[in-house]
Structures are given as C-alpha cells and as structure tokens.
Amino acid sequence: MSKRYTITSALPYTNGPIHIGHLAGVYVPADIYARYLRLTGNDVVFIGGSDEHGVPITIKAKNEGVTPQDIVDKYHAIIKQSFEEFGISFDNYSRTSAPIHHETASEFFKTLYDKGEFVEETTEQLYDEKANQFLADRFVTGTCPKCGNEEAYGDQCEKCGTSLNATDLINPKSALTGNVPTLKQTKHWFLPLDKHEAFLKEWILEGHKKDWKPNVYGQVKSWIDDGLRPRAVTRDLDWGIPVPVEGGEGKVLYVWFDAPIGYISSTKEWAKREGKDWEPYWKDKDTKLVHFIGKDNIVFHCIIFPAMLQAEGSYILPDNVPANEFLNLEGNKLSTSKNWAVWLPEYLKEFPGQQDVLRYALTANAPETKDNDFTWKDFQARNNNELVAIFGNFINRVVVLTNKYYNGVVPAPSELSKIDQETLAVVKAYPGVIASSVERYRFREAQQELMNLARLGNKYLADEEPWKVVKEDETRTQTIMYVALQIASALATLSEPFLPFTSEKLKGILALNENVNSWDEVSEKDILLPEGHQIGKSELLFTKIEDETIQFQLDKLEASKKANEAANKAVEPQKDTITFDDFVKLDMRVGTIIEAEKMPKAKKLLVLKVDTGIDTRTIISGIAESFTAEEVIGKKVTVLVNLAPRKLRGVESEGMILMTENAEGKLVFVNPDDSNVANGLQIS
Ligand SMILES: [Zn+2]
C-alpha cells in the first residue's frame, strides 16, 4: 500500500561544518528511512536545509570581522557538500536565507497574527548598555535556575535541556561585552503555549503513548507536567526575518519560530522545481509527517512547532518524532569549540571512498535509546570483522567463483536440496524482517538483520563448499552457485538504505542496473538473478583498515585533548604590587651558555657555564628533563645575576636562568629574540 510521506531532518545550524554526531543522530537514520520508503514504492519527499538565522551566527560574524551572510554562505556550501558526499538523499536541500523561506515564514507569522493567536506584550528584557543592544538567546549566559549550570544560555540550558527565557537566568552576563545587563522595556509577540496545553496533552500524552520513543515521550511529558508558559517568538535583532506587522520595526522572528517553517518552504521549493503541488505533503490527513532530530530539539518539534501548526489550522501534525540521544566520541561529549569531533570533510580526505564504512559504524552504534560512544577501535572492528570479513567476503567469493567456473554467466540450477530451499525461503523473509525494524525506527536492529543475510550467504558457501564439490559434481556446483547468486542479488537491493554506495557498486558487479529487484520483489520473486545472466568482474567492496590508520586518528584526538588542557590551565593570580625600586633591585643580563653537563645523580639538573658579559660563572639549572646538555650550548639566555649564591650538591650556583613552561609542560627559555644583542646588556 503506497502512502505519502513528508520526512524532515533537523536543519543544521550554519556556524560550522558537521561532524559524526550530526550524521549519527539525525541524517543517517532519516536517510535510511527515506531510501527504504522509496524502495517500497511510497511517495516520499525528504526535506533538508540550512538554518541560517539566530544569534550565534551574528556573534561569529562579529568575531571574524565579516557579515552574517558571509558566515552562512561559507558553511551552507560546506554542509551541503558533506551531505551529498555521504549520500544523504534529500529531495531538496534549501536554506532559511532563501527568499521563498522569508516569504513563507513571514506569511505564517501574519496568519497567526491575524487570527489573534499571539499575545502582544511590552516587557522588561535584558539590555547591554555598552553594546546598545537587547540580549536574548546566546547573547546572554548565566546560571540555570533549574540545575545550577553556570553556563546556561538565554534560550536554553544545554546541561539539563530546559528551555529558558533570558530573564530566567541567575547572574546574567552579556556574551558581547561581559557586562551585567540592565532591564529595558521592549515589545514582543508571544505564542501562548499555555493555551495549547490541553491539545498537546491529548495529542501526545494520550495519543502517542505507545508509538513514540520513551525518551521523547518522557521529555515532552515532563515539560507539560511542569506547565507551559507563553514564549516570545520575536527578537530585537537585525539578522533574520523582519517582523511583518505594525510595530515590528527593528525586530526579527525568533530563529526557532522560523527554522521549522523551513521544512515547509523547502518543500515548496522542491514542488516548484518538480512541477508538483506542495500542499498535500503538509495538509493532507493521509500524509505521514516524520521529523528526525537530536534530543536537544525535542521541545521545539514536539511542543512549539505543533502548537504553531495547530494555531495556523490548515496543517497536519507529525506522526512521529524519533529523536535520538547523543553520540559521544571516545568517551567524551562531542564539542565543536574543543575540536573533539570527527569532521566529515576531514574523514573523507583520510578515508576516501569509505562513506559506507562510517555510515555502517554509526548505525551499528546509533544512540537510539541512550547516549552512545563512537570509538575508532570499534569503527575498525566493524569494518574488518563485519564489512570485510562477512559482507565483502561473501560477495567476493560468489563473483570470483562464478567468473572462474562459468565465465560470469549465472549457471542453471538442477534440483534444489532441502538446504537450498530453506536458504532461499529465509532470504525471502528478510525484506519483511528488515522493514519491520525500519518502520519502528530501529535502524541498528535493521542493519544487523542485513548483516545476518550476508552471514547466511557466507555460511551457505562455507557449508556447501562449491570449491570442493566442483571436483566431483559439476551439476551440484551449478546449483550451489545459483543459490549463492540469488543471495548476492537480494543483498544488492536490501543494502541500499544502509550502504548506498556499496549497493550501487554491487548492482554494477552483478550487472543489475537495468532490472534491479524492488524491495518487495526480493520476497515475491522466485528468481532474483536468472540463469544465463552475465555478471561483471569482481571488485573489492571493502578493504581492511590497519592499526596505523586508527592510531593516526587517536593521535589527532590526543593532540586536541592536550590543546584543550593547555587552554583550560588556570592562570596564576597576580602577585602583590611592587614599587619601581623593588624592580630595579633585580639585575638581569643577557648571557650565553658556553658549557653544559649533567649533574651526576640528579635527574633535573644541568651544570652550566654562562658568559654573563661580567664574567663566566657557574649556574645550576633545573632544566635537564626538558633539554640535553648539548641542546643548550650556545643558547642566548636571560640571567638574574645578583641572586644570592647557593650550593647545590656541593656546587655553588651563582645566578638564575629565566624560564617558562609551555602547554605540554616542557620548559622554554625566556631569551632575547635578537641573537645579536651582546652578553652583559641589562634587561630593564
Ligand atoms: Zn539547567
């Protein structure tokens, strides 16, 4: 039964490239779902686009000295390309700075305004006197009133997920100037969520208790149980969609008001291009609307956007919002600012042509019901032990043997043994088994079943041993190879949602491109690859990933970790004030180390002879863990020459060499940057 589907995936925010967390949480599952539905003959529109408004983009633009448009142009292009490269099969990928979106969002606001669905209110909002600007959303940070997180934003606490108004924050601070904001009056339009509480209760809490994921249902319930409050849908800002009503001058729509409308405008853009009508995809009761998002977006997609759609009146509501939890990387939270991530453009440079390996590893570990961890070792194991050793190995054997025995022509079977019949019957069951998992948004499970089909093929060949049978029974060998080829053909169809590049390649190898079987045909047809069909030559689908390759990735992460630790290192507070007279008591000179040797039996000490310009003297320095004696000979240094001499292990040290320490704990000389300065010159 063919059905109409509108599938959306969260609009990525265009202030940076995307990483594996985005792919695992939203885009790969959405793509699997869309591809599966198309393969099963449904009418599908799969919608995406870039979210290009809001405060963080304006902050980034300010910091980089460019316009917000420059920022979004740059990252929209990068993100769009990543999606194309990873085979995310959007029917349309738009952007919220597009005119069609400005029109659509503007009209949507106007409709609600005209229907009296907003509450107009002049309230006191946080204002930065120094920046001459109202502070909302990410312009302001402070302590979360719910969980005490000191780095909550003016729109949301990322620690506990609570959605906030900027004025809720305790000890608010401007992200622009660091100032403590004052309060200033301004007019805004609010969506009275409290008015929609009854409908939300009935629709979600009653209506979707069974079919929505527990993590999504639970979050929504806790929200509604806490009581919903009016939510401002406009902002005092100059980047975004202008508020299209009287009194809206200098204000724009709140980014979370316009972004989900982006799904609608992207659908319109697609329909226009394809010569279709967009409205049934958003307004026909028979259309199934599904939003793929991460857990940080649940409140916007399950409460605010449905309330907007309901208030507008002519739209359908989502049938499901299968939000995922978060993916971690090697045990730590993915973070853009800490560069703790695997960036997609970088991955493709380092693993060219291996998009499916990442897709596979991410789905195998998808954070469907709880936060999950991506590790490079697991990635390697998934590739080597599953994709190479099972899927790739099976296909390779089938294709190589078919070419070897029959010049690549599918042989005619004779009578099928009981094993053959059972095997083919199991193959026929797979489309249903995989479909049942996909339709319940259990993509890990679905992919496991796909691999089980490859396992079945591998086991069949291992048990039937055509390479042995061929020596004594040619007819039986033909039948074995015929059955194995049917399994290979089923894999070519059923792998498409999960491993689209591999599926394409496999169809090429099996020369299936003209008459590939549909999903249902794999169940319905007795013959997937008929005798006499000519297949192509063998090509490796996957290659083994070596330990060095994985170590390289781990080293890169280790470097990020070190850099972060260095950045977080606390700076010592300033010492007590001294007078100029105190300072001039220090006699510091330029000197050169002319001899150096290790102090016997002392791990840290070098005994140096230093030409201070005044004399050549002995100085003992605790730098032996950072430098060898040979390394420091000839080095220009700064010497404190009037430090009282002191004896260390029987040797008198007359002065001190000035040092500091770098992020990795290695000592660094504080030395004149011009090596032409003469020894003995005073430092003042
Ligand atoms: Zn919090």
Express each pLDDT in 494-543 by its tens digit: 999 999 999 999 999 999 977 789 999 999 999 999 999 999 999 999 99
CA of 143 to the centre of ligand 1 (A): 8
The per-residue pLDDT for 405 is: 98
Point out the least confidently predicted range of 275-289, 431-445, 457-471, 552-566.
552-566
CA of 148 to the centre of ligand 1 (A): 6
CA of 178 to the centre of ligand 1 (A): 21
Residues counted in the chain: 684
In single-letter form, the type of residue at position 20 comes to I
In single-letter form, the type of residue at position 147 comes to C
Tell me the average pLDDT of the chain.
Answer: 94
Express each pLDDT in 102-160 by its tens digit: 999 999 999 999 999 999 999 899 999 988 889 888 899 999 999 999 989 998 888 88
CB half-sphere exposure, 202, CA atoms < 13 A: 6
Q: What is the DSSP letter of 237?
A: -
Pull the structure tokens for residue 632.
């420091």
Neighbours of 123 (CB within 10 A): 13
CA of 169 to the centre of ligand 1 (A): 10
Residue 231 forms beta bridges with which residues?
Answer: 191
CA of 296 to the centre of ligand 1 (A): 12
The per-residue pLDDT for 563 is: 84
Helix (H, G, I), strand (E, B) or coil at 670: coil
Pull the structure tokens for residue 577.
């004030």
The label of the residue with tokens 């408004």 reads 53
Burial of residue 280 (number of CB atoms within 10 Å: 0-12, 13-18, 19+): middle
The per-residue pLDDT for 570 is: 61
Express each pLDDT in 179-195 by its tens digit: 999 999 999 999 999 99
Beta pairing class for 92-95 and 170-174: unpaired
663: confidence class by pLDDT, cuts 50, 70, 90: low
| Phi, psi at 607, each rounded to 5° | -100, 120
Pull the structure tokens for residue 258.
């316009």
d(CA 570, CA 548): 35
CA of 612 to the centre of ligand 1 (A): 59
CA of 16 to the centre of ligand 1 (A): 25
CA of 215 to the centre of ligand 1 (A): 18
Give the DSSP H or E segment for 418.
helix 418-439
CA of 62 to the centre of ligand 1 (A): 27
270, 282 Cβ separation under 8 angstroms: no
Point out the least confidently predicted range of 83-87, 221-225, 498-502.
221-225
CA of 174 to the centre of ligand 1 (A): 18
561: confidence class by pLDDT, cuts 50, 70, 90: confident
pTM above 0.85, yes or no: no
Per-residue pLDDT for 484 more than 80?
Answer: yes
d(CA 491, CA 487): 6
CA of 300 to the centre of ligand 1 (A): 17
d(CA 681, CA 589): 5
Per-residue pLDDT for 282 more than 80?
Answer: yes
Q: What is the 3-state secondary structure (H, E, C) of 573-629?
A: CCCCCCCHHHHHCCCEEEEEEEEEEECCCCCCCEEEEEECCCCEEEEEECCCCCCCH
461, 397 Cβ separation under 8 angstroms: yes
571: confidence class by pLDDT, cuts 50, 70, 90: low
CA of 304 to the centre of ligand 1 (A): 19
CA of 160 to the centre of ligand 1 (A): 4
Express each pLDDT in 411-448 by its tens digit: 999 999 999 999 999 999 999 999 999 999 999 999 99
CA of 226 to the centre of ligand 1 (A): 14
The per-residue pLDDT for 649 is: 86
Express each pLDDT in 576-624 by its tens digit: 888 888 899 999 999 999 999 999 888 899 999 999 999 999 999 999 9
Per-residue pLDDT for 573 more than 80?
Answer: no
Burial of residue 179 (number of CB atoms within 10 Å: 0-12, 13-18, 19+): middle
Beta-carbon contacts of residue 354 (< 8 Å; ≥ 6 apart): none
32, 446 Cβ separation under 8 angstroms: yes
The per-residue pLDDT for 31 is: 98
CA of 317 to the centre of ligand 1 (A): 29
CB half-sphere exposure, 332, CA atoms < 13 A: 13
d(CA 631, CA 642): 26
CA of 653 to the centre of ligand 1 (A): 56
CA of 677 to the centre of ligand 1 (A): 57
